[in-house]
Amino acid sequence: MDIKDFIAKLVAVPGVSGYEERIARVISEAFNSYCQEVRTDAFFNVFGRKTDGHGENMPKVMVAAHMDEIGLMVTHIDEKGFIRFTNIGGVDPRILPGQEVEIHGKKKLFGVIGAKPPHLQQAEDAKKAVEMKDMAIDAGLSAEHAKELINIGDIITFVSPLVELKGGMVSAKSLDDRAGVAVLLETMKELDKLRFCADVYFVATVQEEVGVRGAAISTYRIAPDIGIAIDVTHGDTPDASRDETFAMNKGPVIAVGPNMHPRLTQKVMDTAKEYGIDYMVEVEPGPTGTDARAIQISRYGVPTVLIEIPLRYMHTTVETLNLDNIRKAARLLARFIASLKEDWNQWLNY
């Protein structure tokens, strides 16, 4: 399965933070084709172990990308059958009016988040964004029927399948961070072409969007020598500062800052230069909003690297990225892992 088809499969499966069981099964099945051992824990973090070689000082490397997505949850069904909801993760209320959704009740139900037509709005209404508490989902059901099929606490996901744009670009919901999971799979494929001396754990983590919880659990369990987080960062758009966004066609982004180990990060950059892999650099002066934050401070501390894919329109239903950046990130990761020799820990120490 190629990258585009794999991502299309991933974004079609619901996996709101805390409710990742279904997407975990899909990822586990994919990992099974390339890893010697695959397991899933009680929280649905998926671990794929891949090793080649039996060096005396073989490093344990954890490469993580989160599988969970932002979404909604049912809070109330009113007397007319309209379904009230709240958010799970960072949902921007401004994108909600007009969205198509699926309610995962006793059976999957299609619904729409309607909006008052401009013809019926007061002049002052048109100048304000509608608050989430004032929105509702219309599934075309009576209150009685809705309550038979839907429970308070049922999750709601957005309907936004993968679409192919020009120039190698694709758009869909939850590319943050199903694209990172695709990087994991592509890195496994790249490692099959190389000789390496490392014990590599590929981890699709849960609940990143609500506090990097899956990464904290997984890192504590694995106790890696080196941690690598794969996530997305902001791609360039006309309305955003160039200082805060990155080109869509110049490779992955390598983050620098106190959350990342300086020498380890430099080693990744040196590897990119050695193999002619394009990359950009992002300055992160504080804790990042990624799994790297949890990986770094697990147990007695893990030297950590953060590699990111430029993504436009983050936390919307039309997240957009360039598939070539996924290929480049995977190629870089595999060659970095292959560069680790028995003296790997010498260049980590000052």
Active site members:
208
Q: How far is CA 275 from the centre of its chain?
A: 26
Between CA 189 and CA 236 the distance in angstroms is: 29
Strands 46-51 and 83-88: unpaired
Angle between helices 21-31 and 175-191 (to 10 degrees): 20
Quick one: DSSP state of residue 273?
Answer: H
Q: Per DSSP, what are the bridge partners of residue 165?
A: none
Q: Please, which residues have CB within 8 angstroms of residue 66's CB and are 6 or more apart in sequence?
A: 177, 180, 204, 205, 206, 207, 208, 209, 212, 214, 215, 231, 291
Tokens of 343: 């003296």
Of 77, 75, 94, which is closest to residue 85 (Cα–Cα)?
Answer: 75
Q: Per DSSP, what are the bridge partners of residue 307?
A: 230, 254
3-class SS of residue 335: helix
Of 78, 69, 90, which is closest to residue 134 (Cα–Cα)?
Answer: 78
Strands 137-138 and 108-113: antiparallel
